[in-house]
């Protein structure tokens, strides 16, 4: 596709619900990243995939957060038992080869946990 | 100390003026530096990247890197109202952090008519 796409664009969840956020990277991009952006802050790294391998998950805030990219293209970020502090914009980015290359961001999913 | 620091602003400049946005970083071994622009409610979009000390120009934008001072800046010449946005400085740190962009909190720029 022309760019990184994410769905849904907006998600409202009740505290305790599970949510799944989808990312479609740019076609052919090997690397995929998830970031979390709280209001008024810069994006913060969550996790990184190279093809289907999750090479870095050091930014995932708790074991309630889980990401996968089983076929090396589409990725899903799952948040279990959502908490109010999970409310943020979740950004997906992809790059052609490795992490040192330019990362292109999707439009984000705005998650609100009530 | 934050890994990447920026003044949150807002920085207000008149139309046609030069806007100067500054960023400092703590990891001396960092190799790659990026400036992203983010309009309210939108995702970050890449403006420029710079790897080497000195200046890099692209149209109205100039990135400046000084690794000795751990300082990177973005100059916007002939500022336009459409340049009003938050500018995010991002760094790829050395060593084990090389998989991720580390962002500052961003500087809000307002270009006034």
- What pLDDT was estimated at residue A46? 97
Could A43 and B101 be called an inter-chain contact, meaning their C-beta atoms sit closer than 8 Å? yes
Across chain B, what does the average pLDDT equal?
92
Q: Do B100 and A108 touch (CB under 8 A)?
A: no
Q: 3-class SS at B90?
A: strand
From A18's Cα to the closest Cα of chain B, the distance in A is 24
Residue B104 touches chain A, beta carbons under 8 Å? yes
d(CA B22, CA A108): 26
Nearest-CB residue to B32 (from A33, A56, A100) = A100
**CB pairs below 8 Å between A and B: how many?**
55
pLDDT at B105: 95
- pLDDT of B93 reads 82
CA distance A106 to chain B (A): 6
pLDDT in tens, A39-96: 989 999 999 999 999 999 999 999 999 999 999 999 999 999 999 999 999 999 999 8
Which candidate, B4, B23, B2, B16, places its Cα nearest to that of B78? B16
Find the angle CA(B8)-CA(B9)-CA(B14) to the nearest 5 degrees.
Answer: 150
Q: Is B94 helix (H, G, I), strand (E, B) or coil?
A: coil
Is the pLDDT confidence value at A98 over 80? Answer: no
pLDDT at B98 over 90: no
3-class secondary structure, A107: coil
Q: State the pLDDT at residue B97.
A: 55
| Contacts with A107 from chain B: Cβ below 8 Å | 42-43
| pLDDT value at residue B14 | 97
Least confident of A1-5, B2-6, B79-83: A1-5
Cis bond before residue B13 (omega within 30° of 0)? no
Tokens of A45: 């790294």
Interface of B with A in 34-73 (CB under 8 A): 34, 36, 42-46, 49
Is the CB of A42 less than 8 angstroms away from the CB of B106? yes
**Residue A50, CA atoms < 13 Å, CB-side half-sphere:** 9
For B44-84, strand residue ranges (E) read 45-50, 54-58, 61-66, 71-76
8 A C-beta contact, residue A113 and residue A83 = yes
What pLDDT, on the 0 to 100 scale, is given for residue A54? 95
Contact between A41 and A88 (Cβ < 8 Å): no
Average pLDDT of the segment spanning B67-71: 95
Task: Report the phi/psi class of residue B36: left, alpha or beta, with left for phi > 0 and alpha for psi in -120 to 50.
Answer: beta
Token readout for B105 is 């909190």
Residue to mutate among B100, B102, B104, with most A CBs inside 10 A, is B100
B24-28 mean pLDDT: 93
Go through A89-109 and write b for each residue having 16 or more CB atoms within 10 A of its CB, e for each that does not.
bbbbbbbeeebebebbbbbbb
């Amino acid at each position: 596709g022309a760019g990184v796409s994410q769905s849904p664009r907006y998600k409202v969840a009740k505290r305790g619900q599970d949510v799944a956020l989808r990312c479609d990277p740019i076609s052919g991009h090997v690397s995929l990243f998830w970031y979390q952006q709280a209001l008024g802050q810069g994006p913060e790294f969550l996790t990184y995939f190279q093809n289907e391998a999750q090479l870095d998950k050091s930014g995932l805030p708790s074991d309630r957060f889980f990401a996968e990219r089983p076929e090396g293209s589409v990725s899903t970020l799952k948040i279990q038992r959502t908490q109010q502090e999970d409310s943020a914009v979740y950004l997906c980015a992809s790059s052609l080869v490795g992490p040192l290359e330019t990362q292109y961001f999707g439009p984000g999913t705005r998650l609100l946990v009530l | 100390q934050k890994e990447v620091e920026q003044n949150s602003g807002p920085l207000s400049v008149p139309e046609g003026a030069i806007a100067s946005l500054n960023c400092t970083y703590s990891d001396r071994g960092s190799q790659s530096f990026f400036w992203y622009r983010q309009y309210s409610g939108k995702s970050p979009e890449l403006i420029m990247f710079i790897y080497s000390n000195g200046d890099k120009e692209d149209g109205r934008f100039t990135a400046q890197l000084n690794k000795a001072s751990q300082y990177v800046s973005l100059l916007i010449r002939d500022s336009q109202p459409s340049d009003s946005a938050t500018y995010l400085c991002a760094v790829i740190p050395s060593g084990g952090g090389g998989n991720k962009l580390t962002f500052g909190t961003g500087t809000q720029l307002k270009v006034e008519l």
